[in-house]
Structure 1
Amino acid sequence: MKHLNKLAWSVALATTATLTPVMSSHAAGTITFGEDRYISLGFGMRGSYSRVEDGAGNGSSYSNDFSLDSGRIYLSGSLNKYIKGMLNTEKDIAGQGFQVIDAVGIFQMTPDISIWAGRFLSPSDRANMAGPYYSLGGGYWAGIASRYGFNGGYIGRDDGVALVATAFDQRLAYSFGAFEGNTAFQIAPVADEVESARGSDGLMYAGRLQYSFWDTEPGYYGTGNYLGTKDIFTIGIAGRSQKNGAVSATDQGQYYSYSADLLIEKQNVGPGAVSFEAAYYRYDTDKVFRSEEGKAYSAGAGYIFNEKVGWGQIQPFVRYQRFDADNNIDLRQTDLGVAYIIDGYNAQISGVYSHLKETSQSNTDSFFVTLQLQF
């Protein structure tokens, strides 16, 4: 394996509408048609420049590449205070069209209870629910430990229905649903589910339970870090299971996974706010895919200074991930970075040094500079 040094500029514009009382708010343009009737529109893109050692065609020179990593359109709407929905798209890998990643109807039964039906994020760990734009330092940093692309759809989406609810003044949040599972949903022109090798078919059941001891965390699609705006002490557990959920060309078996995660953030610790997060994962594919079963760990810590420097605040951070697979391949990644927070998750720049180590392989060192904007 070649030793890589990457210098990447990632340009991100990710926009989502203010959808429902149980979702995070994002900037967008909104047209209202009366009380509790509206349509909101947003758009987003992520682009990058990369420079990779020995990455050129001759195998010995640096590569220089620009790429459009993400291009999205976001729509949301409300018919009344009981029926709402959203539609989000992502460009396909070839960049020739768009594919639906979220298409969901949301039925608000009571202020604390809603039913979601369609395609959306199934209940899972905090990193997966927060997604690429709402985590410490930006980017979907927990991709090594949080491996929900394997079962439940690429970037965590899946087709199904779920109960999404809160209790005790939103301190307790819980969700449970049934989904198609066994999904090879990719951002590509052709996306299909994997059929069972023996003809049997079972739904994937997924759930999440979390409790906030300090400030509450409203919203189903979550946030990985509050950037010094809240005091957070929240613990969560999640799990999913599917009969015949692990299917290869020659075999199939039970799929299940479970996780536990923790987020602590405290304001006014010295001249700023400190944050710490950690998570543990266990994956099992009934020995069908030994490379996708095993134990995983992740942890992150950050400190955001209250005083602005120019336009924004400084937030140094460190992150660590490990996936110890049952095929004896151990994958570890350590990130050291500094974020410049201009306007929360609407505008920030970060620089990250990343060290990736894989069993029996040479190390990979990378350096990234990312720019994130939301409108």
Structure 2
Amino acid sequence: MTNSIKHLAKIRRVGWLPMMTLTALVAGHSSVSQAGATFKIDDTKWISVGAGLRTSFSSVEDANGRAGNPKWSTDFALNNLRLYMNGQLHKYIKFTFNTECSNCGDGGDIRILDGIAQFEINPYANLWAGRQLVPEGRIEMNGPFYSATFEPFKTPFEASDSTIQNVLPGPDAGTFGRDEGVNFWGAAVDGHLKYVFGIFEGLKRSNYSGPGKTANADGNLMYATRIAYNILNVESAPGYYTGGTAYGADGDVLTVAGFAQYQEDGAGSYEKAGDVLMAGGDLKFEKVLPNKGVLTVNTEYKNFGIDYHNGAPGAGSSTNNFFVGGGGGGLVNPFQGDSITSNLLYLIPQKVWIGQFQPYVMYTQVMTRQGFTSAQDQSEYEGGVNYIIDGHNARVSLLWQGGDLSGGGGIWNPAANGDFVNAIKLGVQLQI
């Protein structure tokens, strides 16, 4: 899904294009410490490329919902396949272009993940314009590649996770956690205070009058913000991005943050629009212990609310069949309620073969607002172990999930039947 882009400080490297092609593109290259290979054009211009891959195997108990059937499903999946490109045109001007595959399991379609013009003046004031991450909670901002666990996305999605235009049904309001807009971001107090303020399209105004015409007839914009304070050491994630863990590289970290998204007429039907407000907070604590082990805690709370002007769209709404992929209930009847998710991880200091083991536990609960839907509150327990080979660049995860959250292993789903379902999953993540 919801899914973060490759951190800029770690993607200035080459691993997927033939050397002859790159040589034709640039005059030469030089090695950059902790940043792989950067292809230099002149003293101020450079370009870099990289790639990321996540693939998994899962087995879910009674996946087809047949009562009394002890069989387990067996599914292989290509979760993510991303290509990264970054460059600098001027001392103050950079760009980012990343791709992602949608519908990876059905052959996949390569689509634009990020397309950002970056004007970076100083630590306090920077402007990014284009398709990019909408400011949000830490889990969403981590994305799949920089989260602490292999399957971080458990709570209902926001509008920017909803649709892929002309691929998935439903009103367009962004996808992969991205949307078209601008972000103003910076850091103050020696980098301890980090802030980002964004303006985005959000739910787009309908250009037609037939069935499926959406809310937001006036074309209102969506506003989003995130403000975080690093109480102890400053986290090293670049820009306004975040990470679920630094595996101790940042030392002792305690960060608290608040975030919000708002759009007038951002949900509902054309006849019954509603103002959307999502707000919450998150906390990250990471401690390097005397034995060099690393303890990590992440917790996040979200509240989803909609203020309908003329009552919520009912089951007979002309647009009620336009639901988005994944959880959240769609842009016509989005989720309303609260959610909380927390994880606890411990990176064992001793190396075993080429990596370190990191056992963890995780819990998620989604509490539906009374009267919003007949769906009950849902929860999920998770326990697993990550095998860390090269931080976020190479790791293997084995995990167990159990609960009624989306039938055991996924995001909140209003159609879940409440049964406690077990799932076993094995995931591999590689990037360069």
Aligned match of 1:292: 335
Q: TM-score, normalised by structure 2?
A: 0.74
CA–CA separation in structure 1 for the residues paired with 2:396 and 2:216: 49
Higher relative contact order (CA 8 A, sep 6+): 1
CA–CA separation in structure 1 for the residues paired with 2:85 and 2:119: 17
3-state SS in 2 of match to 1:311 = coil
Q: TM-score, normalised by structure 1?
A: 0.84
Aligned match of 2:404: 357
Aligned match of 1:160: 181
Aligned match of 2:296: 275
Q: 1:65 to 1:234 in 2, by over 3 A?
A: closer
In the TM superposition, what are the counterparts of 1:1-375 in structure 2 within 5 Å? 16=6, 19=8, 24-26=9-11, 28-29=13-14, 30-55=38-63, 62-93=72-103, 94-95=106-107, 97-139=109-151, 141-144=152-155, 147=158, 149-150=161-162, 153-182=174-203, 196-197=214-215, 199-218=217-236, 219=238, 220-229=240-249, 230-248=251-269, 250-270=271-291, 272-286=293-307, 288=312, 292-326=335-369, 327=373, 329-358=376-405, 361-375=418-432
Query: Gapped runs of 5+ residues in structure 1?
Result: 1-13, 185-193
Q: 1:166 to 1:68 in 2, by over 3 A?
A: same
Q: 1:243 to 1:299 in 2, by over 3 A?
A: same
Task: Report if aligned partners of 1:145, 1:321 keep a CA contact under 8 Å in 2.
Answer: no
Higher Rg of the two aligned structures: 2
Q: Which amino acid aligns with 2:155?
A: I
3-state SS in 2 of match to 1:367 = strand
Q: 1:48 to 1:323 in 2, by over 3 A?
A: same
1:112 to partner: Cα distance: 3.0
3-state SS in 2 of match to 1:127 = helix
3-state SS in 2 of match to 1:110 = coil
Task: Report if aligned partners of 1:204, 1:241 keep a CA contact under 8 Å in 2.
Answer: yes
Query: Gapped runs of 5+ residues in structure 2?
Result: 15-37, 163-171, 206-211, 313-331, 406-415
Pairwise CA RMSD: 2.7
3-state SS in 2 of match to 1:286 = strand
Q: 1:254 to 1:116 in 2, by over 3 A?
A: same
More strand by share: 1
Percent identical residues: 31
Q: Which amino acid aligns with 1:144?
A: T
1:32 to partner: Cα distance: 0.8
Q: 1:236 to 1:75 in 2, by over 3 A?
A: same
1:338 to partner: Cα distance: 0.8
CA–CA separation in structure 2 for the residues paired with 1:163 and 1:129: 16
1:360 to partner: Cα distance: 5.2
Q: 1:233 to 1:196 in 2, by over 3 A?
A: same
Q: Which amino acid aligns with 2:380?
A: Q
1:49 to partner: Cα distance: 3.3
